Amino acid sequence: MDIIAVKNYLKSLNLPDFRAKQIIKNYFSGHYSDFASMSDLPLALRTDLDNKYPLLSVTESNLLKSTDSQKVALKLHDGLYIESVLMDYGDWLTACISTQVGCPLGCTFCATGKMGLKRNLTIEEIVDQIIYWNIKLFPKYVGRLVFMGMGEPFLNWDNLIEALKIINDKNYLNIGSRKISISSAGIVPKIIEFANLNTEINLALSLHSADQKVRQQLMPIAKQYSLAELKKALDFYTHKTNRQVMLEYILIDNQNDQPEDIKLLKEFIGNNFLFHINIIPLNPVKGGLIPSTHQKEFVDGLDKAGIPFTIRRSVGRSINSACGQLIINNNQ
């Protein structure tokens, strides 16, 4: 919901302040899917608001469910689509949020990258993905967020930051910063800006190789921001915030899974004890690369080198909702 537009409209009707508060509370409660069902409002106002504003800026188009995840295609006001994922880790529900329709960065291993960028998502479209899941789940609700859906969050900076304020706000969605993770492909100036915000939001960085040449082949953005610049920005981040950074590392057969890659990784980490490697099994995408057949040797090598790491549990492959598998044909 466009909170400012609705607030201004209510003001123009000279309604008492509590009405706006009531409507905003209803919207964030996840209890209502339209204004018409807000039975604590006068009927005429409900009808009027329903005619003027959609409660949600996204509408469900296709919902797929597996045992541990759900994936939805959401239609936007201009007919474009995005995908959002809900993951059930047993004790908490985590939503994987998109920030762009497609992505301009074209990483070779990622389905979204093959779409190119259609446009940035608005603040409402980012927030409404969460409200959409909360309405579906009611009275359960989303407890954690990962900005790892479609798009590069740091390339939709302004809307991301405004959406995060709404997500954090006690009177709005009230999801604490420590329960939120943002993943970036490595937009160096934005990593610095993010560090300077001094939030408690977790930062994940898609590294995937500590070899400049290999990283450039996998992630074209690496030509613009070198590993050396990236390391400097990440060291600045950890120094400034004293927070851990997750370095995401997809294992791709014979490309980044050799003993030499561990050596380079060790050099990249240097003496920064706040870097933590997150090994991600490569999820299959069309015409894509081959998942590593050396995972065991690689993680043993990490162990030996004293590099801290975890292996990410992959959910949702059966419905193509795992990392990097989100894609929509927006030309249909």
CA dihedral 129, 108, 317, 61 (to 10 degrees): 40
Q: Kindly identify the residues of this chain, within the stretch 230-249, that bind ligand SAH according to CB under 6 A.
A: 248
Verify binding: residue 112, ligand SF4, rule CB under 6 A: yes
Q: Which residue is nearest to ligand SAH (CB)?
A: 324
Verify binding: residue 191, ligand SF4, rule CB under 6 A: no
Cβ neighbours of residue 15 closer than 8 Å, sequence gap 6 or more: 45
The site map against ligand SAH for 279-318 (x = CB under 6 A) is: -x-xx-x---------------------------------
Verify binding: residue 115, ligand SAH, rule CB under 6 A: no
Verify binding: residue 110, ligand SF4, rule CB under 6 A: yes
Residue closer to ligand SF4, measured from CB, 180 or 185: 185
Residue closer to ligand SF4, measured from CB, 110 or 265: 110
Q: Stretches 17-25, 109-117, 225-233, 275-283: which one binds ligand SF4 (CB under 6 A)?
A: 109-117
Structure tokens at 305: 């080198």
Active site residue 110: no
Buried b vs exposed e over 140-169: b needs ≥16 C-beta within 10 Å? ebbebbbbbbbbbbbbbbebbeebbebbbe
CA distance 38 to 27: 9
Residue closer to ligand SF4, measured from CB, 105 or 135: 105
Q: Are 264 and 211 in contact (CB under 8 A)?
A: yes
Active site residue 83: yes
Amino acid residing at 22: Q
Verify binding: residue 103, ligand SF4, rule CB under 6 A: yes
Report the DSSP pairing between strands 275-281 and 69-75: unpaired
Count of residues near ligand SAH by CB under 6 A? 17
Among 83, 128, 152, 211, binds ligand SF4 (CB under 6 A): 152
Report the DSSP pairing between strands 81-88 and 69-75: antiparallel
The partner in contact with residue 282, picked from ligand SAH, ligand SF4, none with C-beta cut-offs of 5 to 8 angstroms by kind, is ligand SAH
Buried b vs exposed e over 280-307: b needs ≥16 C-beta within 10 Å? bbbbbbeebbeebebbeebbebbeeeeb
The partner in contact with residue 106, picked from ligand SAH, ligand SF4, none with C-beta cut-offs of 5 to 8 angstroms by kind, is ligand SF4
Structure tokens at 201: 């939001």
Positive or negative torsion for Cα 164, 204, 235, 190: negative
Q: Which residue is nearest to ligand SF4 (CB)?
A: 113
CA distance 85 to 130: 10
The partner in contact with residue 182, picked from ligand SAH, ligand SF4, none with C-beta cut-offs of 5 to 8 angstroms by kind, is none
CA distance 117 to 82: 12
Verify binding: residue 281, ligand SF4, rule CB under 6 A: no
Q: Kindly identify the residues of this chain, within the stretch 13-72, that bind ligand SF4 according to CB under 6 A.
A: none
Q: Rule CB under 6 A: which residues touch ligand SAH?
A: 103, 109-110, 148, 152, 183-185, 206, 248, 250, 280, 282-283, 285, 323-324
Catalytic residue IDs: 83, 323
Q: Rule CB under 6 A: which residues touch ligand SF4?
A: 103, 105-107, 110, 112-113, 151-152, 185, 206, 324
